[in-house]
Chain A
Amino acid sequence: MKPTDVKNPDYYHKVVDCQWACPAHTNVPEYIRLIAQGEYTGAYMLNRESNVFPAILGRTCDRPCEPACRRERIDAKPVAICRLKRAAADLRGEIAHLMPKIPAKKNDKRVACIGAGPASLTVANDLMPLGYEVTIFEKLDEPGGLMRSNIPSFRLPERVLSEEIELILNMGVDARFNTPVESMKELLASGFDAVFVGSGAPRGKELNLPGRAGTERIHIGIDWLGSIAFGHTTSVGERVLIIGVGNTAMDCCRSSRRLGGKDIKVMARRPREFFKASAWELEDAEEEQVEILINYAPKSFKVENGVVKGMEFDQLVWDAGAKNSQTVGTVFLPADDVILAIGQENAFPWIERDLGIDFDKWDTPIVDPTTYQSTRPGVFFGGDAAFGPKNIIWAVEHGHQAAISIHNYCHGNSVTDRPPFGMNLVSQKMGISEWSYGNDYAPVTRQKMTHVDLKERFDKLTIEVELGFTSDQIAKEVARCLNCDVETHFTAKRCIECDACIDVCPVQCLTITRNGEEEDLRTRLSAPAVNLTQSLYVSEDLPQTGRIMAKDEDVCVHCGLCAERCPTAAWDMQKFELLISYAGEEACANQHTAA
């Protein structure tokens, strides 16, 4: 193998599994250290830089970081990253003085954002400090998009949602509520320099089976959640069937539980391992005594005189891998209400098809996955509107990227001209066997979130179920973070091949051996490197024998013992900081050291 190029920001970035997995590349280990030091405000602001909505995401994020967390590979359960984010948001102090300054003198560029969801709000957040005039058009009378209409307030309190949205709107955004955009053509004619479409995926999928017509008690999940959020729906029948088993289904069944539902069944076509809902959302639903039934395919609705009587299902048996199924029977389940939560899609009846904004054969817009520009220059898409339903954190990242494109576009630069990532790498050595980070491994288990008592929580729709971590839980959970951003950095020319690092490594990461192709090298290490998603760090030839130092990054606990036992400082612990570019700000300008 060739020596690893650690000057490429991607290499060490990939070692920080959580940050690499996060669409917005939030600097997780750094904010966890800030929390550990009690610097909640600092932790919040660091979060806000990349993910814009720490308090909201600390409750609702899809958490791509957690399944990626290295701790899971060592200790079965990942660090509770998302809940720590919430802790920082809950405990932070005053931040008004830390928010970006909005210039009084504008740059004479006007940007229209359609929809007041997380993608549009992120665009506004990034462009307002640069002097743009941003106008947001929202069809509802309140901002937030799906964060308000689809996430029940027992998971995301209204106060938390509004507070973080207001931070952005208060930058001087011209937010026009109850103002749906009816015609893209008209909007384009009204003189904006750029248009961003962040209108989400507001159309819930219909289930057209026999008996569907003639009732108002069969609901589309996301519309139904919306009508609860805005107070239009306040009750539900005692027997509720939820069709589908994604996160929307979980919100629907738990909302039903609070609106009077007693016998609530979530009906899944396939076995549990194929559920779309996150594991923790399933757990939370089941804690509330919602029943989840597997291997039932909806067959027909039974409606009499506008009243739902129930539904008929085929009972399925699946082969291994759940590819093909056989029907082994039919059952009828009585119900008062049926809620369809089988997916959603974006829809653009208000975009005329002769504007140069091309749509593909599924009638979704053709959007460049890097620039977020449509086929019409100056019109950008992001969030669920761009590529269909994803989640909040992806919408935020789309917003950041679209803002970069809009900034380039408005200044006559190519939108494909993307600012690169930068990096800083700084030694953490403070003295002999002394580091500026806590390198000791804490053998504590993942802290369990405490919930409001099962009776109390149903008293009101708005009672937040999760209580947040106690200070003791925070202290234990932060100690579980392995500081994966403090990198084991190797300088081959200093190595005397004494083996001290190899001998002391608690997890057999290191090997000195002759070089070879990666496939062969992976089998010849102190412990075989079987996790192919994790990199091998390969040094230049060692001075005494011409062999190489190889490190399997997979389960390194970043304890720094290799560096402590190294007599020549060939190993050092260096903190990697990924420098992310945002609109109008090139990250490399902040690069001060690179070893």
Chain B
Amino acid sequence: MPSIAKPVARHPSLERNSLGLTIRDYEGSMSTLCAGCGHDSITAAIVRTLWEISMPPHRLVKMSGIGCSSKTPAYFVYGAHGFNSAHGRMPTITTGAIAANRELTYIGVSGDGDSLSIGIGHMCHAIRRNVKMVYLIENNGVYGLTKGQFSASADVGSKSKRGEANRMLPIDPVMLGLSIGATFVARSFSGDKEQLVPILKAAFAHRGMALVDVISPCVTFNDHSGSTKSYLYTRKHEARATETDFVPPATEILASISTNGVTSVTMHDGSVVRFRSLPAGYDPTDRQKVMSYLQERQSSGEIVTGLLFADETVADLHEANNTCDAPLNDLPYEKLCPGAETLNWLQDEFR
């Protein structure tokens, strides 16, 4: 843990976003994670993203479960709302929160333990319901908070710090998400903010759930030579499928980059995400092709990164259920709880 809080001294030429805030206004308290943790870099990418999209801090909700990853919401945006839920229950609590107030912006930060073991069912159903949130998995392949046991995302053959190899098959959140209908799927790397920040911007603009899996090396338990989730291994095996360019709503698209290999997807809020496919013919809107491409590359040992798949045509939780437009806390009490008479009438309807 650092000896001091971050000095209040600021760079004299610090820029301000459209709300008049500097990037330092999006910070949280000092991280208590190990020095060099990938999670801290992801936190920094979230801070940058929220500053760049001028998110009003009081309109943001930070959700998490249990684990190193789930500590991180404390490290960004002081002024936001937050809920630190029971282990693995982050997606469920978030679903409830969104059901109650659809006007806020939600980011859930989870880890491979929280989401792929204890909370996997909760995550799957939040994907299924297309809950409008950014679902970020900080994926390091180990249980860092309990001294480095293999997690459900550890690759076969990946070695623990003591040299033992993992024998169980991993669950890949990207393939899982694609197979059960996730509408926005991306993978990135904590050591590559140039890629991660535009992906996060697109994720916040997405119509439903944006599932973002981020390889985030555990410096203490999983950054050694036998690891498949170390800084070095990730850098050596990373293969970019797309490069993402995020164009905010109401911004004129002036750049005339080659149309060759470029796909534009207009997001729900009017912004545009442009993908440039790095392998020729990669189509980020074709779920079947994306899945087979990923399977193929994965078997040859590559870690495919980028905004891998996006579909803006699917309704989110509220649209699908035809819920009311206003957040529940805006409804007058009589409307929210119309009384015994109305309840009787409703029950009669079902008899």
Q: Mostly helix, strand, loop or mixed at chain B's interface?
A: loop
Name which of A500, A527, A530, A545 has the most chain B CB atoms within 10 A of its CB: A500
Tell me, in angstroms, the Cα distance from A434 to B3 when the chains sit together: 7
Within 8 Å by CB of A498, from B6, B9, B31, B41, lies B41
Task: Contact check, A503 vs B41: say whether CB atoms are below 8 A apart.
Answer: yes
Known: A443-B8, A498-B191. A564 touches B3 (CB 8 A): yes
Task: Contact check, B14 vs A527: say whether CB atoms are below 8 A apart.
Answer: yes
A305 adjacent to chain B (CB < 8 Å): no
A565 adjacent to chain B (CB < 8 Å): yes
Tell me, in angstroms, the Cα distance from A367 to B202 when the chains sit together: 69
Contacts of B40 in A (CB 8 A): 499-500, 503-504, 565
Contacts of B41 in A (CB 8 A): 498-500, 503
CB distance from A480 to the nearest CB of B (A): 11
B38 adjacent to chain A (CB < 8 Å): yes
Interface residue stretch chosen among A167-175, A281-289, A554-562: A554-562
B167 adjacent to chain A (CB < 8 Å): no
CB distance from B334 to the nearest CB of A (A): 50
Task: Contact check, B191 vs A499: say whether CB atoms are below 8 A apart.
Answer: yes
Scan A408-446; emit 1 where CB is below 8 A from any B CB, else 0. 000000000000000000000000011100011101000
Residue of A nearest to B36 (CB): A567
Tell me, in angstroms, the Cα distance from A568 to B190 when the chains sit together: 17
Scan A549-576; emit 1 where CB is below 8 A from any B CB, else 0. 0000001010111001111100000000
Tell me, in angstroms, the Cα distance from A207 to B2 when the chains sit together: 64
Task: Contact check, A561 vs B232: say whether CB atoms are below 8 A apart.
Answer: no
Task: Contact check, A435 vs B3: say whether CB atoms are below 8 A apart.
Answer: yes
Contacts of B223 in A (CB 8 A): 496, 567
In A486-504, the 8 Å CB interface with B consists of: 496-500, 502-504
B12 adjacent to chain A (CB < 8 Å): yes
Task: Contact check, A508 vs B11: say whether CB atoms are below 8 A apart.
Answer: yes
Task: Contact check, A499 vs B193: say whether CB atoms are below 8 A apart.
Answer: yes
Task: Contact check, A561 vs B190: say whether CB atoms are below 8 A apart.
Answer: no
Residues of B in contact, count (CB < 8 Å): 34
Q: Mostly helix, strand, loop or mixed at chain A's interface?
A: loop
Scan B317-343; emit 1 where CB is below 8 A from any A CB, else 0. 000000000000000000000000000
Tell me, in angstroms, the Cα distance from A75 to B193 when the chains sit together: 30
B110 adjacent to chain A (CB < 8 Å): no
Within 8 Å by CB of B9, from A435, A500, A504, A557, lies A557
Known: A496-B223, A499-B193, A507-B9. A567 touches B34 (CB 8 A): yes
Task: Contact check, B231 vs A498: say whether CB atoms are below 8 A apart.
Answer: yes
CB distance from A486 to the nearest CB of B (A): 14
Residue of A nearest to B231 (CB): A496
Tell me, in angstroms, the Cα distance from A564 to B193 when the chains sit together: 21
Task: Contact check, A498 vs B38: say whether CB atoms are below 8 A apart.
Answer: yes
In B158-175, the 8 Å CB interface with A consists of: none
Task: Contact check, B9 vs A567: say whether CB atoms are below 8 A apart.
Answer: no
Known: A496-B223, A499-B41, A567-B219. A530 touches B13 (CB 8 A): yes
Task: Contact check, B191 vs A433: say whether CB atoms are below 8 A apart.
Answer: no
Task: Contact check, A566 vs B4: say whether CB atoms are below 8 A apart.
Answer: no
A187 adjacent to chain B (CB < 8 Å): no
Contacts of A528 in B (CB 8 A): 13
Within 8 Å by CB of A506, from B10, B37, B43, B232, lies B10
CB distance from A64 to the nearest CB of B (A): 22
Residue of A nearest to B23 (CB): A508
B73 adjacent to chain A (CB < 8 Å): no
B217 adjacent to chain A (CB < 8 Å): yes
CB distance from A549 to the nearest CB of B (A): 14
Enumerate 6 A-B pairs (CB-CB under 8 Å) in ascending A order: A440-B4, A441-B9, A500-B41, A503-B44, A527-B13, A565-B31
New A-B contacts (17) at CB < 8 Å, excluding given A439-B3, A496-B219, A566-B36: A74-B10, A433-B1, A440-B3, A441-B8, A443-B9, A498-B38, A499-B193, A500-B36, A503-B40, A527-B13, A528-B13, A545-B235, A555-B12, A560-B3, A561-B2, A561-B4, A566-B35
Pairs of residues from A and B, 8 with the lowest C-beta to C-beta distance, nearest first: A567-B36, A441-B7, A503-B44, A433-B3, A440-B4, A498-B36, A499-B41, A567-B219
